[in-house]
Structure 1
Amino acid sequence: MNFPHRQRGVALLIALLAVALAVILIASLLDRGELAFARTRNALRGEQAIAYSEGMEAYAAQVLQRDREENPNLDTFSDAWAIPLPPQEVPGGRISAQMSDLNGCFNLNNLAPKQPEIWHKRMQNLLVALQLDPSLSGAIIDWIDPDSSINTEGGAEDNAYLAQPIPYRTANRVFAHVSELRLVRGVSGEVYARLAPEVCALPPGTTINLNTASAAVLMSLDSRMTAVLAERIRQNRQARWTSVATALDEVAQQGVNNIDQAGLSVTSSYFLARGEITLDGVPFSFSSVIERSAGGANSPGGIHIFARSRGGEDVPDGVLANALNQPR
């Protein structure tokens, strides 16, 4: 009879099984503990990053306000707001930031109804300067106008978009973000890559700052404006024109006269502040569109945060869409 040996074998198997279960349980508890720790750490770092971004936002507002007080009638790349904040060591990591002038780009929403017709021509000039089809301007205009009729050459309304494999309708409102261009008929990935760096989505009625505009945006001012003439105005990003007339006189001497001055300026009202934060090796990106207004009958003026976004693509959330569609 070998029953005692068999019993010892079963007892050994049970003991091994119990040890295995204990090891699995301990490993599971450790894994859950590490996961909970990581979640807590990430949540804390996320809150810390938001706090740093708000601090950089407040710093940007102070820089813009001080710049306005020192020189209220001029904005150039030599101003304090144009100087990047170099990487700074902070508890848990490092931060850096920079600002760009949104009045140096072409505002797509200046193509909206009730805006001067000159912007339609400038959009075509911009497309030509970028070696793109100028008829795309018609599709962009029809994307934001409120009616359902094609009003311009190259335009497209709901019928064109509803015939797509994935049907959708035109926005019939102003752009909330430049990325909406990818929905416009004719705007392929290649077209978007060329056009997006030169345009922005701001409230209708903004101006182009001749001191900070790119060469392509300057070429949009008139079909006769060549890249060489645009560079004469830009002066290798060192332009400090004190008036629109003075800047345009520079190209008038080269035979390009009578450029329409509507919507042109040498000051700026909208800026994009970008912050890059790295905490425990985890990167966080924040962007804020800052409005700096002089004030008036319907506005107290000062510095206002127009929109905030998080992530590398600077795609604003619903705050920007709502702000753009508010009466101003």
Structure 2
Amino acid sequence: MDSTRPTDQTAPGRPDDTIVVAVGAEGAAGAVAFAVQEAERHHAPVHVVHVVRAGAANGYPELLADVYAAADDTVSSAVRLARDLGGPGTVVTGERLDSGGLVHDLVDRARHGALLVLERRTTSRLHHVLTRSTLNGVAARAAVPVASVPTGWRRPPAGAASVVTVGVQDAGEAEPLLRTAFELARERGSSLRVVHSWWARGLWSPVIDTTVRADWEGRARRELEGAVEPLRAGFPEVPVVLHVRPEPPVEALLDAAGRSGLVVVGRRHHLLPVGSHLGPVARAVLDHATCPVLIAPEAVAPRRSRTRRAPATTGG
């Protein structure tokens, strides 16, 4: 059954620029605030969704009615919050769903939107595992970008300096991801930090000469500069800093996240086929970053030839 409350919450025929935000029974104030921020930037509507997980209540009509009533209250509260945060010009709608599994419903509702926003909660170990599973499942399957917002996130003051960080794994395939990051930085009036790191067992072994490591780093920087340079002309207002060094990729991105307003990573590992699940770096960043993370769906870019280098895993 696909249930929606028959009031002005429901938004039939949502436009393709809609920012969809998922809320749970505990609320999702951080995710709602982020969704409203993005909606205002793009002059887009916000659509709140809450997926009902009725479980055993399905066999008991009165109990199921209570579950639906609680779900409607959750949606109503989130819609009110979004309208309060966005002001009178913000169009906000909402609905409750129970047409299938949690991941399926969220992916389906985001299909015609521009962005899906979820809140990352860390409470009990079991709830953390369930939340992580839902977030990873949605981010791996959604046809639109997925933003993960940590609990307690608040919109930064207007005019505050900010940094968008993007993790690049393979410079030869990075153009769509870099373009997305440039666009996000321009929208925010932010600088852009491009992080590319790699790590291999024995990298700092005495057997590997320092000149070899320097050669790897030099090649990686040249390839990354080659990927970034064509985009600079189209985004002259975006200051760009390249961060290229041998370092465990997860550590590099999480360190950068602590000094960023947003981290952008690609959905898949570059050696996995299109449509695969999240790569290990993307999963780790989603799980531990202290700022919002945006997972960009894969886009096929012309592959440039590149020189061989040390294993590189940042960004997937």
State whether TM-score is above 0.5: no
More helix per residue: 1
Q: Which has the larger radius of gyration?
A: 1
**Alignment TM-score, normalising by the size of structure 1:** 0.28
